[in-house]
Each structure stands twice: as C-alpha cells, then as structure tokens.
Structure 1
Amino acid sequence: MIPDLGIAHVAFHLPDRVDDVRSWAKRTRQKTATARNLEHAGMRHFRNADGQTATGLAASAIQRLLLASGAAPETVDGLVYVHTLQGSIAPPPQSLPGLLCERFGFANADAFSFAQQHCASALGALRIIRAMFIARPHMERVLLVGADAMPIESERLMQGEGILGDGAFAAFIERGGVANRLLAVATHASGLGWPGVLANNDPRLAAQSFLAARNLIRHTLQQAHRSLDDIQLVLPHHLDLPAWYRLLDSLRIPRIRLFAQNFSRIGHVTVSDAFINLAQCDGLVPGRPLLLFARGVGGFSAAALLCP
C-alpha cells in the first residue's frame, strides 16, 4: 500500500550576492548576443555563492527549515541530499550527507545522496523517498535537501536558456502529511540528451524535450486521475520562459497559471527551483493541485503533483 505523504515544510537559502546577466557576460567575455538571448529567455538576475560552499548553503537551508518547523533532530528518520554539480559533494572518504547529520544531530537518520538526474534529481528523489516509506513502516519523516555552488563563472551558461545560479532548499517529507500531499510523481530519461545543453545546440533535442515535457505532464496527471483543467499552478524550473509559454499553450493551460515571478528575480537555482517556488506560493485554493516540474542536463525530466 502506498502511504499518504506530504511536504509538510519547505525552506530555502539564497546567497546574498545578486548578479545580473549583463555584468556576468561582460566579466566572462561573452558575446553581446549572449546576454540579449538570456534576457529574452527571462533571465536577468542570479545568485552567486561568492565562495560559500554547497555544504554551507545546504546547512543554511536546513537551519531555516528546523526553525520554521520546530522539528527535533531525533525525529528525522532519513536525509536525502540532491545536487547537480560534481563539486557539490564531499570527496571520499567524507560524506556530505553524513557531515550534515553530524552537524545537526540527525542521529537516527539514514543518509545518502542522489544526483543522477541532475536538475531533475530533487523531484526524482520523491520516488525514492516514497519507496523508503513503503519499505519501512516505522519511518515518519525524511529530510530532502539540495544545494549547488558553481565554482567556475564561465561555466554558468546553459546556451540561451538560462544561467546556473547558486542556492539550496530543504523540505520535510512526512507520512500522513496533510499539507502538499503527494498525489503523483513521474520521471523521464532519454539517452539522446547525454551531451547536455552545455555542449550541444541540436534543435532536435529542444523538440524532444518539448514533447517529453508534454507527455510527462499528462502521464503525471493520469496517475492521480486529474485533468489539465484541475491544475491550480505550474511551478517550473527557471529556464527558457518563452518555451514554457509555448508548452502551456500546447496543453491549453492558461499562461496565468505559470508561477513565473522568479525567472528574472532569482533565476535558475539548479535542483532547487520547484521547491523555492513552492515555499513562496501564497493564496492557494485548498484541494486544487500544483504541478512541479524540473528538467536536467542529459535528457532527464521529472514532475510531481501536490495537493495543498
């Protein structure tokens, strides 16, 4: 039997330094058209860790989560750490999940990391966490935390889609949760995207990504026996805003349902976009589902349907 799970609390941490696309383009000697294309894609600002590590970013998000939730460390049964960049995980024999457990006193938590779906890993991890709850009836609360910090400024560019920004989120997934109940979660992977958007500008991959997103959204809704009209808000990854509008138009979802305010204000924060948006949603109608979506380098995508 699949247990009822809910995302009871969400918090995030963004570095203090706010960079703008034009300054970054000038600093890294990009072409003039690069900044213009990024602005057309909805990107204007992003967060820069400015030397702060992924461990520090994750710890700041967890600290905010603990303060907001009032949860005691000994009540955390598991910790799943997600990331995209290889530099965002401590090298062996260290363990970043282990370091976080030690720092916050999560003595009872089984901890591991998951990054195989890149920026879609946070939503993809919900499938793993759901399986953990099924296999372990005693489990009541799992901490999902994600963080990334880009070490090389010039590597932030994702073609004309956006900029890789720095930040972290933390969320408690709880058994029997009544807030943000998990109705469905689904993932998609395609080997055709293995070179990634950092090195390949093949328009066929963009078309494939578009169709994959359409199919994945429909499949996720079918799992929960819901329709496109039921969606209250779409919480996207912050890449290529015009493409998001085209996708919504093709599904006949009104554009006003896209939670788009963070594209220009915050930018793309690797694994964290959907959860940052979730933490900032106000005035929601109870019972009408939210669709969270993320796409990762390599042809990965994931979607989750929540009921607030």
Structure 2
Amino acid sequence: MIPNLGIPHLAFHLPPHIDNVQRWAKRTRQNITTVQNLERAGMRCYRSANGQTAIALAASAIQRLLIASGIAPREVDCLIYVHTLQGSIAPPPQSLPGLLCDRFGFTNAEAFSFAQQHCASALAALRVIRAMFVNRPQMKRVLLVGADVMPLTSERLMQGEGILGDGAFAAFVERGAAVNRLLSIATHATGTGWRGVLVHDEPGQAAQHFFTARSLIRQMIQQAHFTPNDIQRVLPHHLDLPAWRRLLGSLQIPQDRLFAANFARIGHVTVSDAFINLAQCRDLVPGKPLLLFARGAGGFLAAALLVR
C-alpha cells in the first residue's frame, strides 16, 4: 500500500550577493547575442555564493527549516542530500550528508546522497523516499536537502536557456502530512549522457525534450484522474521561459497557471527551483492539484503532482 505522504515544511537559502546577466556577460566576454538569448529566456539576475560552500548553504536552509517547523533533530529518520555539481559534495573519506547530521545532531537519521538525475534529482528522490516509506512502516520523516555552488563564473551559462545560480533548499517529507500531499511522481531518462553545460543540444534533441515533457505531464495528470485545467499552478525549473509558455499551450493549461516570477528574480538554482517555488507560491488553493517539474542535463525529466 502506498503511504499518504506530504511536504508540510519547506525552507530555502539564497546567498545575499546578486549579480545580473549584463555584468556576468561583460566579465566573461560574452557576445550580445548570448545576452539577448538569456533575456528572452526570462533571465535577469542570479545569486552567487561568493565564497560560501555548498555545505554552508545547505546548513543555512536546514537551520531555517528547523526553526520554522519546530521539529527536533532526533525526530528526523533519514537525511537525503541532492545536488548536481561534483564540487557540491565533500570528497572521500568525508561525507557531506554525514557532516550535516553531525552539525545538527540528527543522531537517529541514516543519510546518503542522490545526484544521478542532475537537476531533476530532488524530484526524482521523492520516488526513493516513497519506496522507503512503503518498506519501513516505522519511518515518519525524511529531510530532503539540496545545494549547489558553481565554482567557475564562466560556466554559469546553461546553453542559452538561463543562468545557473547558487542556493539551497530543505524540506520535510512526512507520513500523513495534511498539506502538499504527494499524489504521483513520474520520471524519464533518455540515456543520452551528459556532455557538459557548454555543449548545445541539437535541434532534434531539444524538440524531443519538449514532446517527452508533454507526454510525461499529460500521462501523470490522467493517471491521477485530473484534467489539465484542474492544475492550479505549475512550478517550473527556471530555464527557457518561452518554452514553458509553449508547453502549457500544448497541454491546454492556462498561461496564468505558470508560476514564473522567479525566472528573472532568482534564475536557475539546479535542484532547488521547484521547492523554492513551492515555498514562495502564496495563492495555492486547498484541495486542488499543482505540478512541480524539473529537467536535468542529459535528458532527465521529473515531475510531481501534489494537492494543497
């Protein structure tokens, strides 16, 4: 039996240093076409860690989550750390999940990391969490935390679709939660591999991403016995805003359902976008479904359907 899970508490941390596309392009000697493409994609600024580490960002998000939720560290059964960049994980024999457990006193929590789906890892991890709850009836609460820091400013460009910013999120996934209840999760992997953020997708691959995302979302909505018009909000990853407009049009979801405010305000924060949006979207109606989505480099897609 699939347990009744939800995400009752969320928090995130964004570094205070804000940079914009124009300054970034000047420093990294980008041409005007790149800047224009980024602005068309909805990008205006991004957050820079400016020397902070991934573990520091993650710790800040966790601290905010613990204060806001009032949950004691001993009540956390498991910690799962998600990331995309290799520099965002401590090298062996250290363990970044272990370091976080030590810092906050999660003495009852097992801990591991999950990054194989790149930017889609946080949503894909919900499948792992759901399986854990199915097989462990005694499990009550999992702490899902994600953080990334881009070490090289010149590599923040995501194929002209956006700018990669630094940041972190933390969320409790709980059994029997009354809000943000998890209805379904869907993932897709093409197996094409990752050739790096600076390599442009061929037009055929970009088109395939579009059709695959549409099929994945449509199938998930149907399996949950909803229609596209039932979706009250779509919480996207912050890449290529025009493509999101086209995708919603293709799915016949009204354009005003897209939560797009954070494209220009925050930029793309790898594994964190959907959870940052969930924390900031204030006009959600109880009882109506909402869609979280993420795409990872290499052809990974993940979507989750929640009900407020």
TM-score grouping bracket, smaller chain normalisation: over 0.9
Distance of 1:194 and 1:93 partners within structure 2 = 26
Q: How many residues align?
A: 308
Residue in 1 that maps onto 2:79: 79
2:290 paired with 1:273: no
Distance of 1:198 and 1:205 partners within structure 2 = 15
2:154 paired with 1:154: yes
Distance of 1:299 and 1:193 partners within structure 2 = 7
Shift of 1:199: 1.0
Residue in 2 that maps onto 1:60: 60
In structure 2, what residue type is equivalent to 1:259?
A: F
Alignment of 1:1-308 (within 5 A): 1-192=1-192, 194-308=194-308
Query: What runs of 5+ residues in structure 1 fail to find an aligned partner?
Result: none
In structure 2, what residue type is equivalent to 1:124?
A: A
1:95-144 alpha-carbon deviations (Å, 9 max, x no partner): 00000000000000010000000000000000000001111111000000
SS of 2:192's equivalent in the other structure is helix
Distance of 2:75 and 2:165 partners within structure 1 = 32
Worse-superposed segment, 196-205 or 104-113: 196-205
SS of 1:178's equivalent in the other structure is coil
1:146-188 alpha-carbon deviations (Å, 9 max, x no partner): 0000000001101110011100000000000011000000100
SS of 1:301's equivalent in the other structure is strand
Tell me if structure 1 keeps the 8 A contact 2:229–2:254: no
Shift of 1:246: 0.5
Tell me if structure 1 keeps the 8 A contact 2:157–2:197: no
Identity %: 74
Distance of 1:223 and 1:80 partners within structure 2 = 28
Distance of 2:196 and 2:127 partners within structure 1 = 23
TM-score, normalised on structure 2?
Answer: 0.98
What is the CA RMSD across the aligned residues, in angstroms?
Answer: 0.9
Distance of 2:227 and 2:128 partners within structure 1 = 25
SS of 1:162's equivalent in the other structure is coil
Distance of 1:13 and 1:47 partners within structure 2 = 10
Distance of 2:159 and 2:25 partners within structure 1 = 13
TM-score, normalised on structure 1?
Answer: 0.98
Distance of 1:256 and 1:43 partners within structure 2 = 19
SS of 1:145's equivalent in the other structure is strand
Shift of 1:281: 1.2
Distance of 2:142 and 2:244 partners within structure 1 = 31
Worse-superposed segment, 60-69 or 283-292: 283-292
Shift of 1:66: 0.3
In structure 1, what residue type is equivalent to 2:10?
A: V
Shift of 1:24: 0.2
Distance of 1:218 and 1:201 partners within structure 2 = 24
Worse-superposed segment, 195-204 or 116-125: 195-204
